[in-house]
Amino acid sequence: MAQVRNKQVILKNYVSGFPKESDMNIIDSTITLKLPEGSHDVLLKNLYLSCDPYMRTLMTNPKYSFNPRSYTLQSPINGIGVSKVLESGDQNYKEGDLVWGITNWEEYSLVSAAQIHFKIEHTDDVPLSYYTGILGMPGMTAYAGFFEVGKPKKGENVFVSAASGAVGQLVGQFAKLIGCHVVGSAGSKEKVDLLKNKFGYDEAINYKEEHDLNAALKKYFPEGIDIYFENVGGKTLDAVLLNMRIHGRIPVCGMISQYNLNQHEGVTNLAHLIYKRIRMEGFVVANFYHLYNKFLEFVLPHIREGKVVYVEDIAEGLENGPAALVGIFNGRNVGKQVLVVARE
Amino acid sequence: MAQVRNKQVILKNYVSGFPKESDMNIIDSTITLKLPEGSHDVLLKNLYLSCDPYMRTLMTNPKYSFNPRSYTLQSPINGIGVSKVLESGDQNYKEGDLVWGITNWEEYSLVSAAQIHFKIEHTDDVPLSYYTGILGMPGMTAYAGFFEVGKPKKGENVFVSAASGAVGQLVGQFAKLIGCHVVGSAGSKEKVDLLKNKFGYDEAINYKEEHDLNAALKKYFPEGIDIYFENVGGKTLDAVLLNMRIHGRIPVCGMISQYNLNQHEGVTNLAHLIYKRIRMEGFVVANFYHLYNKFLEFVLPHIREGKVVYVEDIAEGLENGPAALVGIFNGRNVGKQVLVVARE
């Protein structure tokens, strides 16, 4: 059986501080496009790969990382992707199925069926790449974090950081759908414009130009914040804690501002958790995938009616993968960063 | 109507940093022991006063404090106390009733009926002073924080800081009652001995002698901590975050290590809230007083059967109030710090 080229993005060295493109390498490997005899695995052709902040935590030397799942040096990195099944040794999948789940950053991957999260019932009125974003992990993250962890009520005041990102842009729109007052922060004029003009945020803060975030939050939330959807951590969290309202909630989705720091910034205002009786709750989307079908029933009609929109930042080709991934830690992406490996 | 002496503890100046005895003054005021004509207030003879960490936050200049209830300069400070009703303009109380609630640090107080929390059904088999502690606010705090906020399950691993204090000594005993593994930290050999020999803690840490709290926690909780009952904040919280277990809970009761710092210590390990899906929730006991009767039904039989014990540190006389109050911030008290004004 002939082998074909299998381009890969591999991790060259463990990362400390901000990741650089040179921490990864593009190599040409080969693969036999045939399932090994008796295998129960699934052979995938990768189409769209997702660039997500949590991936940084897997680039740290496992000796210094809390996370036992660190990437393996000289092996392809992995993440969420949309793939087509070429051959399956698992009865749940068959040739031609579209799926999303954990796959490797390469053209073709042989994965355990357990790595596949869901089969995609694709319809042509939504882009297939959306299954790396609004219809996939980030979408479920926004939905579960806002509704299940945040437990919002109509009319409440909601603040979202990294508000134009893969998750943030949805949290803001979901909050508007149920009648909340929503303010977001992002790191450029372009993103702030998107927040107000595209995602329907009531107000938006460019945190890079705002020298006194505490004062800005006081201005936009004179009565305080009921829900802070936490994506960044550090100084933003500290300013938010001063502005929370009694019985406020902080779903902790991510702390992207901290992932590249060898010593995390100290958060000093945690005593406000007591003064305001705040619930601050970390969550990971994997605990909420049982709600996925319910989520699709909720979000698909909104997409089709144009009531929820989604902005993607598309990079083309595995060779541009390292730049795309590194870019999300510098805020270079506008909207969800997707990497196209192949279009079916 | 003759006036009588009314000794008071007044706040001389706002406090920055650790409070000192000299921040307060003892003065002799006078009071007429007769309710003003038509008053709906209640005239109290104060018996036992409670020294509680939250009182420090009321000693800060209100200009620099989040808390609008700061004490008034040159006026008596206030706190929780057990008092006897001398005369009542409110129909819920009558002469001779024993009550506990917010009163002033003085011999006699004229208070609004709304400041009284509960009437005491006193029986001679428990000390009346217990209503400043195990049968009062700290007892309810331990009960609500551990059971209602912490939601413990049998067999879980529980860590308590300030573990021999007014609240901590009870959290540990409650946790043992339901079959948890319980470790506490405190700041002296005497307290550590109390934890193990009197309160039934499985293990105890003297945090002043433990240079690597992270390592100590790893030793005592090889499988991690399910519930951390937070009384101190700062470095202890940071070490605990590294040792929490997935789906752990941190009821945030207090952060006494921080109240005297002009700049709070930074907590750097909050990203573990995400990694471990931790719920960290601040609470104040006032939101749980509807459970007070249920709490008494739970705790009184345990006290009578000797299954729950309570250690008090009793100071005698208002003139010793400033020292007693200041002492709790230096860890001088062993057990619940009570100040006796009069014994009925």
DSSP string computed for A126-183: S-GGGGGTTTSHHHHHHHIIIIIIT---TT-EEEESSTTSTTHHHHHHHHHHTT-EEE
Class level of CATH domain B3-133+310-340: alpha beta
- The answer to whether B272 contacts A282, with C-beta atoms less than 8 Å apart, is yes
Q: Give the pLDDT confidence score for residue A257 in this predicted structure.
A: 85
CA separation (Å) from A193 to A66, A172, A314, B69, B126? Answer: 37, 14, 19, 41, 66
Of B254, B263, B278, the CB nearest to A268: B263
Q: What are A69's two structure tokens?
A: 């799942």
Rg, C-alpha atoms of chain B: 20
Residues carrying CATH 3.90.180.10, chain B: 3-133+310-340
**Cα angle value B42/B47/B50 (rounded, 5°):** 100
Q: Which residues contact residue A209 at a Cβ distance below 8 angstroms, ignoring those fewer than 6 apart?
A: none
- CA-wise closest residue to B66 among A156, A269, A266: A269
- How many Å apart are CA A176 and CA B87, to the nearest integer? 55
Instruction: Tell me which chain B residues have a C-beta less than 8 angstroms from the C-beta of A273.
Output: 252, 280-282
**Domain A137-286 top-level CATH class:** alpha beta
Q: Which residue of B has its CA nearest to A276?
A: B282
Interface contact A271-B237, CB threshold 8 A: no
Neighboring chain B residues of A255 at a CB cutoff of 8 Å: 270-271, 274
Nearest CA in chain B to A262: B268
b/e map B292-319, b = 16+ CB within 10 Å: beebbebbbeebeeeebbbbbbbbeebe
Residue B165 has what pLDDT?
93
Tokens of B43: 């005239």
Structure confidence at residue B262 (pLDDT): 80
Instruction: Return d(Cα B85, Cα B88) in angstroms, integer.
Output: 7
Q: Tell me the pLDDT band of B3, cut-offs 50, 70 and 90.
A: very high
Residue A72 is classified by DSSP as P
Angle between helices A234-241 and A213-220 (to 10 degrees): 50
Work out the pLDDT band at B69, boundaries 50, 70, 90: confident
Residues of A within 8 A of B283 (CB-CB) are: 274, 277
All CATH 3.40.50.720 domain ranges in chain A, comma separated? 137-286
Q: Which residue of chain B comes nearest to A255, CA vs CA? A: B271
The amino acid present at A31, given as its one-letter code, is I
Query: For residue A176, what pLDDT is reported?
Result: 98
* B267 vs A266, A281, A284: nearest CB: A266
Which residues of chain A lie closer than 8 angstroms to B282, CB-CB?
272-279
Nearest CB to B274: which of A254, A264, A279? A254
Q: pLDDT-derived band of residue B119, with 50, 70 and 90 as boundaries?
A: very high
Which one, of B21, B99, B47, lies nearest residue B340 by Cα? B47
Whether residue A108 contacts residue A45, with contact meaning beta carbons closer than 8 Å, is answered with yes
Give contacts of B284 with chain A, Cβ < 8 Å: 274, 277
Give the minimum alpha-carbon distance from B230 to chain A in angstroms, rounded to a whole number: 10
From chain B, pick out residues whose CB is under 8 angstroms from the CB of A284: 274, 277
Looking at every residue in chain A, the average pLDDT score rounds to 96
Subunit contact A274:B284, Cβ cutoff 8 A? yes
Contact indicator for A229, A253 with CB cutoff of 8 Å: yes
| Chain A residues inside the 8 Å CB shell of B279 | 279-282
To the nearest whole Å, the CA of A16 is away from the closest chain B CA by 17
Taking CA–CA distances from A264, the nearest residue in chain B reads: B268
Classify residue B124 as exposed, middle or buried by CB count within 10 Å of its CB (0-12, 13-18, 19+). Answer: exposed
Instruction: Identify the pLDDT of residue A221.
Output: 98
**Nearest residue on chain A to B280, judged by CA atoms?**
A280
Other residues' Cβ atoms within 10 Å of the Cβ of residue A32? 14
Q: What is the pLDDT of residues B10-68, one digit of tens each?
A: 999 999 999 999 999 999 999 999 999 999 999 999 999 999 999 999 999 988 877 77
Q: State whether B264 and A265 contact (CB < 8 Å).
A: no
Q: Is A6 exposed, middle or buried (0-12, 13-18, 19+ CB in 10 A)?
A: buried
Q: Which amino acid is at A311?
A: V
CA B58 to chain centre: 14
The answer to whether the CB of B183 falls within 8 A of the CB of B158 is yes
CA distance B86 to B101: 15
Q: How would you label A275-288 residue by residue, b for 16+ Cβ within 10 Å and e otherwise?
A: bbbbbbbbbbbeeb
Compute the mean pLDDT over every residue in chain B, rounded to the nearest whole number: 96
Cβ–Cβ under 8 Å, residues B185 and B204: yes
Tokens of B267: 């907590």
Lookup: tokens for A65: 């990382």
Determine whether the interchain pair A281/B273 forms a contact, defined as Cβ–Cβ distance below 8 Å.
yes
Interface residues of chain A, partner chain B, Cβ below 8 Å: 66-67, 233, 237, 242, 252-255, 258-259, 263-284, 287
Coil, strand or helix: which one is A98? Answer: strand
Does B280 sit within 8 Å of A280, measured CB to CB? yes
Mutate to test the interface with A, among B70, B261, B280, B284 (most CBs of A within 10 A): B280
In whole angstroms, give the CA distance from residue B251 to residue B279. 8
Interface of B with A (CB under 8 A): 66-67, 233, 237, 242, 252-255, 258-259, 263-284, 287
Number of A to B CB contacts under 8 A, please give it.
Answer: 101
Query: Which two structure tokens, joined as six digits, stand for B164?
Result: 């021999």
For B283, the closest of A237, A271, A277 (CB atoms) is: A277
Question: In whole angstroms, what is the distance from residue A149 CA to residue A153 CA?
Answer: 12
Residue B95, classed as helix, strand or coil, is coil
Contact B258 A281 (CB under 8 A): no
- Closest-CA residue to A83 (of A60, A61, A67, A104): A104
Task: List C-alpha distances in Å: A241 to B40, B271, B283.
Answer: 39, 16, 15
Q: Do B287 and A265 touch (CB under 8 A)?
A: no
Rounded to the nearest 5 degrees, what angle is found at the Cα of B116, between the Cα atoms of B106 and A247? 115
The CB density around residue B127, as the number of other CB atoms within 10 Å, is 17
Yes or no, beta carbons of A282 and B273 under 8 Å apart: yes
The predicted pLDDT at position A262 comes to 80
- Kindly give the parts of chain A with pLDDT less than 50: none
- Do β-strands A157-160 and A24-32 pair in parallel, antiparallel, or remain unpaired? unpaired
The pLDDT assigned to A67 comes to 72
Which letter does DSSP use for residue B325 in this model?
H
Q: Which residue of B has its CA nearest to A254?
A: B274
Subunit contact A279:B281, Cβ cutoff 8 A:
yes
Query: Minimal Cα–Cα distance from A339 to chain B, Å?
Result: 26
Neighboring chain B residues of A69 at a CB cutoff of 8 Å: none
The confidence score (pLDDT) of residue B83 equals 98
Preferred mutation among A280, A283, A287, A288 to probe B, highest tally of B CBs within 10 A: A280
Instruction: Mark yes or no for CB contact B270/A255 under 8 Å.
Output: yes
At A54, list the tokens.
């949590």
Classify residue B330 as exposed, middle or buried by CB count within 10 Å of its CB (0-12, 13-18, 19+): exposed
**Span B130-148, mean pLDDT?**
97
Query: What span, in angstroms and rounded, lies between the C-alpha atoms of B253 and B244?
Result: 17
Probe site for chain B from A268, A285, A287 (most B CB atoms < 10 A): A268
Give the gap in angstroms from C-alpha B286 to the nearest C-alpha of chain A.
11
Q: Which of B7, B30, B11 is nearest to B20 (CA)?
A: B11
Considering only CB atoms, which chain B residues are within 8 Å of A277? 281-284, 287
Nearest residue on chain A to B271, alpha-carbon basis: A255
Which residue from A266, A267, A284 is facing B277, i.e. has the nearest CB? A284
Q: Of B76, B65, B57, nearest to B11 (Cα)? A: B76
